[in-house]
Structure 1
């Protein structure tokens, strides 16, 4: 019986909800995200630039693009790049930095940034993503920024082995594009990573963990957060090997309540993690009356402070990050 339980763990079956653990981690932390998750990853990177050394952004626009307005979010920040004033967004960034609400922007200079936009994306058009590139070029050394704009992909996470037709929309927003977005992103951030084959499974453990303890003033759903998230632990990291942490933010309609563990299981990160001693944290957002599609807060539905360190979602994810490091 013990051998059977161990076998289930090794093939990656997700166990019942448990407490997020602490691991033997290096100090380097990176983030990535798709769509609303891209906006969230960008927010987290800019706010926590003392700790985050790289970001991979798939189909998202620049920091504070929505400026607290859902109308701006769903129009300018998805479809109308000519309406995005990057200089104004930089002014807001500097204002937050001057107030200590985000880390000093000087920390961003040597970070590694990967930016992807499918050439057929009709949800967040490529011009919006190029505004994200313009924003980062103000802070990050240009040689550290890699952009990919030539994959004929619709809106979704590009993989080399799973998902719907690359150039068409599908309900999971994972596209089989013969392009391993997770590997390309993580390899740009860290360099020298081993590449998984397109047929690679994963051999570690996908764990469902309790998110409620990271929100103090109200239930997670108040802030558009699920009660549980996922974390992927390669077998090497379970046995004490020193590993690195990557935080991956799903897109709208991709959270646990909508698709279960499909994003956490099939977006491609776990196979890269197995070969390269990476732990992947998948926090989970959830729908509420202000956020029916279960998006991350990048326009202010949970708090006016949504894009800085005082935002409820930002604080919750920071606490999860600190737990994995044994600091919370």
Structure 2
């Protein structure tokens, strides 16, 4: 009896050990690193929807000497939510506490620049800026979007283009991909008969170099985001990078595309990455596409980017954890394998 029990216990122990080893092995598996592709620093563009739009705007102001153009979809002005979540909800989305004002926004920007928290606003003058809002957007009030537009009109008077999608809800506009244009619903990609990716890039990058194909021709892969996290707990463990044919050899441009809330890969799979039309534009323009990923958490249940300070008090400055992480990603793609640290 005792011998039988011992053999059974030994067998169970062996089985559990094997399962533990398999578990450890799978947990240690990592996505490949973000490649070094020697991307063209003169063709670095940012784009973002909703919380991603707010982050793209913050990044543009933080490093205006690096970013050549930005496309902001359905978002508002810099510093709007510095008072926290309540301000974000009632001043920067709805306006029950009053709409943000242009003069106040410019004052916040100039003060932050003098403190070295962001870049010199005068460096923005040569940028290109594309702004989009949906006329039927129930989440971002029109006056919030208008303040962003009026602010950029002061900062980038000759390079700002705005577009309002008629009857469009809160989402990224495409010609025919996604939900109905008027809806505000997952995956927040809206079939509006309007190609937001193409329109914004035509303004930022000029005419496409070749015809836009129906299907992407390059390589979409996941990459390990953990080396870029630093102090950030709001980043997912992995993101996406798309490399068009020929761009692995270097010298292509780079577009960083930031999803909105409820739009991470964990929430909508690859819908945002594949349905927005950015991959096809990448092929036509020789643009590497980077899709960083935030993650949902207790302080950030919708997987938003940090535009109200849920992760750090310096969230919208050069010291913001997510700001530093995304910049480190575009710097990695802009480097080469021969670069020395």
- TM-score, with structure 2 as normaliser: 0.86
Paired residues for 1:244-283 under 5 Å: 244-283=253-292
2:153 paired with 1:133: no
Q: Residue 202 of structure 1 corresponds to which residue in structure 2?
A: 216
Q: Residue 10 of structure 1 corresponds to which residue in structure 2?
A: none
Q: Residue 177 of structure 1 corresponds to which residue in structure 2?
A: 192
2:86 paired with 1:71: yes
| CA–CA separation in structure 2 for the residues paired with 1:253 and 1:194 | 34
Change (3 A) 1:123 1:300: same
CA contact (8 A) 2:186 2:268 kept: no
Query: Structure 2 residue aligned with 1:56, among 71, 81, 92?
Result: 71
More deviation, 310-319/84-93: 84-93
CA contact (8 A) 1:62 1:131 kept: yes
Root-mean-square deviation over aligned CA pairs: 1.6
Q: Residue 99 of structure 1 corresponds to which residue in structure 2?
A: 115
What's the offset of the Cα at 1:153?
0.9
| CA–CA separation in structure 2 for the residues paired with 1:245 and 1:314 | 17
Q: Could you report, residue by residue, the CA deviation over 1:124-147 in whole angstroms, capped at 9, with x for unpaired residues?
A: 122211110011122112x31111
Q: Residue 235 of structure 1 corresponds to which residue in structure 2?
A: 245
| CA–CA separation in structure 1 for the residues paired with 2:160 and 2:99 | 24
What's the offset of the Cα at 1:303?
0.5
| CA–CA separation in structure 1 for the residues paired with 2:297 and 2:182 | 30
What's the offset of the Cα at 1:272?
0.4
CA contact (8 A) 1:68 1:304 kept: no
After the TM superposition, which parts of structure 1 deviate over 6 Å for at least 4 consecutive aligned residues? none
| CA–CA separation in structure 2 for the residues paired with 1:272 and 1:184 | 10
Matched residue of 2:169: which SS?
A: coil
| CA–CA separation in structure 1 for the residues paired with 2:167 and 2:260 | 19
Question: Structure 2: which 5+ runs fail to align?
Answer: 1-29
Query: Structure 1 residue aligned with 2:138, among 122, 125, 141?
Result: 122
Query: Structure 2 residue aligned with 1:318, among 327, 331, 337?
Result: 327
What's the offset of the Cα at 1:152?
2.1
Q: Residue 95 of structure 2 corresponds to which residue in structure 1?
A: 80
Change (3 A) 1:315 1:68: farther
Aligned length in residues:
306
What's the offset of the Cα at 1:170?
1.9
Q: Could you report, residue by residue, the CA deviation over 1:148-196 in whole angstroms, capped at 9, with x for unpaired residues?
A: 1143210000011310101112210000111110010011001122575
| CA–CA separation in structure 1 for the residues paired with 2:230 and 2:204 | 33
CA contact (8 A) 1:90 1:135 kept: yes
What's the offset of the Cα at 1:59?
0.3
More deviation, 297-306/188-197: 188-197
More deviation, 307-316/208-217: 208-217
2:178 paired with 1:163: yes
Q: Residue 56 of structure 2 corresponds to which residue in structure 1?
A: 41
| CA–CA separation in structure 1 for the residues paired with 2:224 and 2:250 | 24
| CA–CA separation in structure 1 for the residues paired with 2:210 and 2:49 | 21
Matched residue of 1:155: which SS?
A: coil
| CA–CA separation in structure 1 for the residues paired with 2:82 and 2:230 | 26
| CA–CA separation in structure 1 for the residues paired with 2:267 and 2:196 | 22
| CA–CA separation in structure 1 for the residues paired with 2:300 and 2:211 | 36
- TM-score, with structure 1 as normaliser: 0.89
Matched residue of 1:293: which SS?
A: coil
